Amino acid sequence: MSSLWRIALTVPAKASEVVADALSPFVSAVTALEDSPGGTWTVEGISEDEPARPAITAALALAAATVGTPPPDTVIEPLPDVDWLALNRQSFPPIREGRVWIRGSHVADAAPASSIELLIDAARAFGSGSHPTTALCLRAIQDLAKRRTPRNVLDLGCGSGILAMALAKLVPSACTLAVDLDPVSVATARENARMNRVARRIDTQVSNGWRSPVVRAKAPFDLVVANILAGPLAEMAPSLKRGLAPGGIAILSGLLNQQERWVIAVHRAQGLRLIRRYRRDGWSALVFARG
């Protein structure tokens, strides 16, 4: 029997975020993709063990009910017994985003002149650089590094550690705390930092957002990068205000263009000022400053 299982469902746009959040505790990875502008979304999760069908069905039905949609029809099926990691690596070409050049270990090409090279292999942790929100954060970090030299940095929801590593190479004097609530992501980020020779400048820790003692101990930060989802960003806005140093900058992403107004309003209510926005393929990154 296959060791990997797929959970897939289609929901209206308004239910995509809450349903993806509800599925996350049951799977190793979850994605939500828009089928058509303003239409339905397909939410998929991958599990390494046979999913708990009754619990998943109940959680998804409850999540859908909170936004007034019926329980989604859910497909739970084993995946073919293939080497998915090898396939991911084969389909992962080098990525260029500004000065940052990202490649897997299977790519032997030399890095372009004047580029900052990051070695990232496909893994269970999020963050290969291919998603628009990661690219937007990389662009925002590079633009910020031209004007500022952040010293104390928080990468909140670090995934594979790609943003923390890019910052470590762009601003060698910066010290970054990279945290994620997923221990697998933290272990992956730690190994990636070692492989890219920036481990001494990145402290990787398991943390549930701002609640961890290690995050509170190292605050306030003069730069916070959080590439997560609109819901958690909005929920943590008061914590961001408290954890951001006066004059500090926050780069927030993981939200759709249509969610900008909500996220901006929540952060403005905390006294944070929007200074720039980035958009690509329907996704956004917002840059805020604390006065």
149 is an annotated ligand-binding site residue:
no
Closest CA relative to residue 228, chosen from 205, 204, 255: 255
176 is an annotated ligand-binding site residue:
no
81 is an annotated ligand-binding site residue:
no
49 is an annotated ligand-binding site residue:
no
| Residue positions forming the annotated binding site for S-adenosyl-L-methionine | 134, 157, 180, 227
Could you list the residues known to form a binding site, using ranges. 134, 157, 180, 227
